[in-house]
Amino acid sequence: MPIVELSGIRKTYGRGGFFRKQERFTVLRNVDLSLRAGECLGLVGRSGSGKSTLGRIMLGLESPDAGSVKILGQDVTGCTRLPEHIRRAVQVVFQDAIGSTNPRMTAGEIIAEPLRNFDKLQGTALRERVAELLELVGLSPDDAGKLPGRFSGGQLQRICIARALAPSPQVIVLDEAVSSLDMLIQAHILDLLDSLRRRYGTAYLFVTHDLRLVRRFCDRAFFMSDGNLHAFDPAKTVDMKGSKVLEELFNAILPPMPDAARRQGNSGESVAV
């Protein structure tokens, strides 16, 4: 049984404002996706192509306009509050570590929150588990007492990763979660995630713009364009010279050439991928 199963997912948002007539635009057209235990699924695509939307739908944080979302075999489409065993099973790490941590909570409190909620841990058992998780992501147990402002962006991101690992989830959505880490730490975190999937069958949706990481870390991969998922072989992105798939793939992940951007009226700003 897949841990997460999406079928026929469609999502539209309204564009326009108070004075102009709202128009709908479609972010996801008809997306089918299933994620099994121990699987790592890579997802690439231009900024704005709908990767995070798909991630949020997969986490049950947002409802699709059509289609169904099943998590651990249970249909949770349109659920406003997910059952506790599902909330625990599906965790997420966003790219924005600062925005996803409370500046007034210490690192230890941030990591302790899911342990208190889901495992009812307290006292020494709680402190020991927090220390263990800090060490797992390459930080020190002494860091538990520090506030987020004392950490670098990469360190804070590791605290978010420790918080996601805390409830021993079955799926983690990593939404550009390792992009801000330097290469050594990135390698350390990816090794850690790899060992968790071998040991416990943890599955990942790995959203990134780095094809090397997809190649190194993912079993299957998709690029998102025009609201659809297109599969590609993560191992073959290098041997596909001249291939239509590779061309589309690069079109999906690279920003437009400066010339093309100017023609589109984009005044030379860089386009985040």
Ligand X SMILES: Nc1ncnc2c1ncn2[C@@H]1O[C@H](COP(=O)(O)OP(=O)(O)O)[C@@H](O)[C@H]1O
CA distances from 268 to 10, 34, 46, 90, 257 (A): 33, 39, 17, 39, 10
Complex with ligand X: residue 131 or 229, whichever CB lies closer: 229
Name the phi and psi angles at 81, rounded to 5.
-130, 120
In sequence order, the 6+-apart residues with CB closer than 8 A to the CB of 143 are: 107, 108, 134, 151, 155, 159
Q: Site for ligand X (CB under 6 A): which residue of 5, 51, 169, 210?
A: 51
Residue 158 interacting with ligand X (CB under 6 A): no
- Tell me the residue nearest to Mg ion as measured from the CB: 52
Assess 48 for contact with ligand X (CB under 6 A). yes
Which helix or strand (DSSP H or E) is residue 131 part of? Answer: helix 123-136
Q: Which does 48 bind (CB under 5 to 8 A by kind): Mg ion, ligand X, none?
A: ligand X
Residues 6+ positions from 112 with CB-CB distance below 8 Å:
121, 126, 130
Beta bridge partners of 243: none
In degrees, to the nearest 5, what angle opens at C-alpha 178 toward C-alphas 188 and 183?
Answer: 50
| Neighbouring C-beta atoms of residue 263, cutoff 10 Å | 10
Our finding on whether 53 is near ligand X (CB under 6 A) is: yes
Partner interacting with residue 58 (select from ligand X, Mg ion, none; CB below 5-8 Å by kind): none
Q: Which residues pair with 6 in a beta bridge?
A: 33, 69
Looking at the Cβ atoms of 52 and 208, the one nearer to Mg ion is 52
Contacts (CB under 6 A) with ligand X, residues 107-136: none
Q: Which is nearer to Mg ion, 112 or 249 (CB)?
A: 249
CB of 231 vs Mg ion, minimal distance in Å: 20
- Contact flag: residue 45 with ligand X (CB under 6 A): yes
Would you give the binding string for ligand X spanning residues 2-31, x where CB under 6 A is met? -----------x-------------x----
Minimum CB–partner distance for residue 267 and ligand X (Å):
19
Interaction partner, residue 8 (Mg ion, ligand X, none; CB < 5-8 Å by kind) = none
Residue 50 in the binding site for ligand X (CB under 6 A): yes
**What is residue 70's DSSP assignment?**
E
Each residue of 137-167: b (16+ CB within 10 Å) or e?
bbbeeebbebebeebeebbbbbbbbbbbbbb
The number of helices, as runs of H, and strands, as runs of E, in the chain is 9, 10
Q: Which of residues 44-83 bind Mg ion (CB under 5 A)?
A: 52
Q: How far is the CB of 179 from ligand X (least distance, A)?
A: 12
Residue 190 CB, nearest distance to ligand X (Å)? 21
Q: Whole-number minimum distance, CB 50 to ligand X, in Å?
A: 4
- Specify which residues 221 forms β-bridges with: 42, 232
* Site for Mg ion, rule CB under 5 A: 52
Binding site for ligand X (CB under 6 A): 13, 27, 45, 47-53
